[in-house]
Chains A and B, each alone.
Chain A
Amino acid sequence: MRFITIGLAAAALTAGIAAASAQTMSYSDAGALLAQSCGKDIEKYCAKVNLGDGALKDCLSGPGAKVNPQCVADYQTVVASLTKRAAAQASVPKLCRNDVARHCQGMVPGDAHFLSCLNAAYRVVTAACNQAIVDAGWR
């Protein structure tokens, strides 16, 4: 059992290092960072406000909320990173169109077939397409 635990920890570590090369945060990491940096302030000043619809952001930046500077900084980081990720996801079809035509001939669209193909061929895929896939969180 102990060996399994160690094996999983090592795998998690490897995954962590791999993730560090991504240029944008995952949505899960973004949520974790918000909770870590702003959780206490949220419970203190905005306990009756929900995450969605910008309500939390309005409350934390509103009068009466003396939010710690780390929360302010990390909130901005999260918003910037999620915006960048969304833009990258939207840009992949365009930036990778030629790569698909060149490297993924005959593949049926759907079920992420093109993505699997581009990820397998990353050494010969254009830098712009590779970067977009990484920023999209898809590699």
Chain B
Amino acid sequence: MKKTRIAALAAVLAFAGATLPASAQTALSEGQILQSLQSAARVAPPNLSAALIANAVQEHIKNNPGMPITWTPLQLLDGLAQINVQIQFALNSDIIRPESYSTIGSIADALHHPILAGYKFVVTGNTDITGDRMKNLELSQRRANAVMNALVTVYNVDPARLEAVGLGQENLQDVQNPKDPINRRVQLINVGKYLPGK
């Protein structure tokens, strides 16, 4: 009974969320997170890994000079089961601000749920286009590492199920407004089945 009510609430919230403007990014409920990350229709290609994604990012930088509006999208991650979360970091640093401890905890809650236990995930870091492109890439990698590190060492998530990769400014959420803070985000992406020993 309780489950049904929560599921119904999650569905209502998911629907309400879809109609909100993109800038009004609100906290996701556990139900929404689980639903988004488990979507069976969005299965990752086999062997998708942080290394593959990092290669695609390097290619993207090489092949896309000029302004973001002319860039081709980083298609590798399109359509995969994923969530976007806003994590507050100290300026130009990978230090996670205390107000985001809870958000990282909600990611941990999802990763600990049996419904996601059989899957591996990539944690990405994203910046907006303010500042140097290569420095943004490096900063986003350190930030993704910091989030993964907190998930593993504070919130007990199995490190074998996680990889961190910085996307810099290559995977903007809003290419029309590349300096919008909405682009500064962390993604948690389902990259397929977790098979221990492989």
Contact = CB atoms under 8 A, between A and B. Distances in A.
A53 B150 CA distance: 7
Interface in B99-118: 99-106, 108-109, 112-115, 117-118
B105 to A, nearest CB: 3
**Interface size classification for chain A:** 35 or more
A94 B94 CA distance: 40
B102 A50 contact: no
Interface in B72-131: 90, 94-96, 98-106, 108-109, 112-115, 117-118
Given A15-B6, A47-B90, A52-B153, A138 B114 contact: yes
A49 B149 CA distance: 13
B103 A31 contact: yes
Interface in A87-139: 89, 110-112, 114-116, 119-120, 136-138
A39 B101 CA distance: 10
B105 A51 contact: no
B146 A112 contact: no
12 contacts: A11-B9, A18-B2, A28-B109, A29-B102, A29-B105, A31-B100, A31-B155, A53-B153, A86-B156, A110-B118, A116-B3, A119-B3
